[in-house]
Amino acid sequence: QVHLVESGGGSVQSGGSLRLSCAASGNSNSIYSWGWFRQAPGKEREGVAAIDHFDSTMYADSVKGRFTISRDAAKNVLYLQMNSLKPEDTAIYYCAAKNSFGITRLDQLYNYWGQGTQVTVSL
């Protein structure tokens, strides 16, 4: 079992930056890849970014060039650096992890989920 805890959310003005963190505990050595997802009110959950065991990454088109996913393998911590934030980035952000091979932004393929952290971007 893997336990994930996000931190770093908050409120920021448009154009600002935030860095989210996700700490893993438990059987974290079993994780092959990680992802960041978000869900805005009234919308479906969206895969924002993902990173695998080899540090390959993928991003949603809406965040390319603004968000960066990274990880500290030694500390079992996942990060999401978010720059040039826009009001449409407002959502609850979740980190997720999976044991299976492959990198993906499909949420149904992830085994483990954090509780989420709120990000609010105002004009």
How is residue 80 written in tokens? 């999401």
Question: Above 90 in pLDDT, residue 29?
Answer: no
Look at strands 10-13 and 18-26 and give their pairing: unpaired
Residue 71 is predicted with a pLDDT of 96
Q: What is the 3-state secondary structure (H, E, C) of 59-117?
A: ECCCCCCCEEEEEECCCCEEEEEECCCCHHHCEEEEEEEECCCCCCCCHHHCCEECCCE
35-91 pLDDT tens trace: 999 999 999 999 999 999 999 999 999 999 999 999 999 999 999 999 999 999 999
